[in-house]
A = this chain, B = another copy of it.
Amino acid sequence: MVHELDTMLKPGSIAVVGAARERPGVNWVDIFGRIVEFGYEGRLYPVNPRADEIRGHQAYPSVSSLPETADLVIIALAAPHVPEVLRECADTGHRNVHIFSAGFGEIGEEEGDELQHSIEHIAAEGALRVIGPNSMGLYVPDLRLVTWTGASALPGPVAVVGQSGGFVDAAVGYGSRLGLSFSTVVNYGSGLTVDATSLIDYLATDDRTGIITAYLEGVNDGQRLLDVVRQAVPKKPVVIVKPGRTEAAARTVASHTGSLAGNERIWEAFFAQSGAIRATSVPDLMNTTLALLKLPRPGGPRVAVIGTGGGSSVAAADAFSQAGLEVPAFGAETLKRLRAVIPASGNIITNPIDAHDVMTDVSLMPGVLDVLGEADNVDMVIVYFHIDWMSDVGPDRVPALADFLANAASSHVAGKPLVVTWRSYRPDPEMARIAREMESTLLAAGIPVFPDLEHTARALANLVKYHSFLEDPP
């Protein structure tokens, strides 16, 4: 079954109303130029009455003069000109529209409110599907389609939808840093007719999408969102950042997208009932996505941590426990086997394991991972690099351990999720370089790396939450 948003979000042809004739100044967003430069391979129609041709594409004076009904019309004109073009779209059978322009209901001024009523009326009458207004639009790497900058051409399984352009852009940027690639990204702005609900409904049916992530400031129809997310969750994880927990934030939401943030208790019930995972920030959203995409289902919430440093063992125990995971004491058999592979002197064999020798002598690590892989009360394994101290022992220690984990860790943990986190506090660019290389090595091998204990704990707790929901829905 083809979803009603399919044509709009996988367009074979695009018209851009307000395509700029020449390279514009810094404060002008040249959507048409971006689409051309990103290499969109569908049919592309610049609409501009004062041009014959733009960047090698024949220009048209109006939507009604196009040689075909475009799958998507993008309107990039000042707000007062938008209703007229929208009317023309409705009259000529163009049903899919992205309004880039801002200056409607979201600004809270009389003129904007009037324009808002006008486009709402036209859209309803013409049964239009409208992304925006006040929206950066689409990024669909598979079609080489983007309406903003900074995106990679490599397609992947992550979908992102959100009201805030800045948030969506940040999610794509941070996700790219983690080696994630994207299927469909939509900044829908004020969400005239196409909003998070309809987009999640579409993405649940989209085979290229393996995980749906969203930034939601508010919704119009909470019950419908609940229904849609409930349908989606068994097929693929849905991870949502819902800000506005505090009164000040709710007020800010109103001035940003004009939507109501809603009651925090209702949102808590929504997450509990739908099985959507709640993330708290851009990094949390993308770290959770990385965990859900790369890690197998954990047997439960019990983690074992191996690192170096007593203070950091205490901090790790606090961080994982506070996130709702468990850091169990090892059983007698596990302790006995660990004592056989870890030298007694200078290492504290408990959970978290504080073992300088294991972290700096890679030949000891397989034995330790074997024991943790077979330990009854361990569901997940975290290796906690201390970049500074390991590098003091030898500049090769961090890359050696990263290489070993990248190549061989999976054969030592009996199918349990294994992730890496790290710390480096020294003001030394060399430590930063070593950390970056370690991240690249591990991420390329599919081993998630998180920037600190708190982010690791949240991502793993979210992983457990998703699988618990699937196994035992309310």
* Interface membership of A272, Cβ < 8 A: no
A309 → B minimal CB distance (Å): 3
* Interface membership of A388, Cβ < 8 A: yes
> What 1/0 mask marks residues of chain A from 421 to 435 whose CB sits below 8 Å from any chain B CB?
001111100000000
Residues of B within 8 A of A321 (CB): 245-249
* Interface membership of A444, Cβ < 8 A: no
Residues of B within 8 A of A318 (CB): 243-246, 248-249
A228 → B minimal CB distance (Å): 22
The verdict on A243 contacting B388 (CB below 8 Å), with A103-B345, A251-B329, A252-B352 known, is no
- For the complex, give the distance between the alpha carbons of A326 and B328 in Å: 39
Interface centre among A149, A165, A177, A313 (most CB of B within 10 A): A313
Is A310 a contact of B26 with CB atoms below 8 Å?
Answer: no
* Interface membership of A67, Cβ < 8 A: no
Residues of B within 8 A of A317 (CB): 244, 246, 248-249, 251-252
Residues of B within 8 A of A24 (CB): none
A357 → B minimal CB distance (Å): 9
- For the complex, give the distance between the alpha carbons of A426 and B152 in Å: 11
* Interface membership of A256, Cβ < 8 A: yes
Please give the number of chain A residues whose Cβ is less than 8 angstroms from any Cβ of chain B in the complex.
73
Can you name the residue of chain B whose Cβ is closest to the Cβ of A244? B314
Residues of B within 8 A of A352 (CB): 252
Interface centre among A164, A167, A312, A315 (most CB of B within 10 A): A315
Residues of B within 8 A of A340 (CB): none
Which chain A residues numbered 351 to 403 have a C-beta less than 8 Å away from chain B?
A: 351-352, 354, 386, 388-389, 392-394
Looking at the complex, which one of B248, B310, B329, B394 makes contact with A164 (CB distance below 8 Å)? B310
* Interface membership of A350, Cβ < 8 A: yes
> What 1/0 mask marks residues of chain A from 226 to 253 whose CB sits below 8 Å from any chain B CB?
0000000000000000011111110111
- For the complex, give the distance between the alpha carbons of A177 and B313 in Å: 24
A287 → B minimal CB distance (Å): 12
Is A256 a contact of B177 with CB atoms below 8 Å?
Answer: no
- For the complex, give the distance between the alpha carbons of A47 and B322 in Å: 48
The verdict on A311 contacting B247 (CB below 8 Å), with A282-B425, A317-B252, A394-B26 known, is no
Residues of B within 8 A of A176 (CB): 426-427
Can you name the residue of chain B whose Cβ is closest to the Cβ of A425? B173
A263 → B minimal CB distance (Å): 15
The verdict on A166 contacting B312 (CB below 8 Å), with A103-B345, A317-B251, A426-B173 known, is yes
* Interface membership of A60, Cβ < 8 A: no
* Interface membership of A170, Cβ < 8 A: yes
A-B interface, 6 closest residue pairs, ranked by CB to CB distance from nearest: A164-B311, A166-B309, A246-B321, A256-B310, A173-B425, A167-B311
Q: Which positions in A face B, CB cutoff 8 Å?
A: 26-27, 102-103, 107, 149-150, 162-167, 169-171, 173-174, 176-177, 215, 217, 243-249, 251-253, 255-257, 281-282, 308-318, 320-322, 326-329, 345-346, 348, 350-352, 354, 386, 388-389, 392-394, 423-427
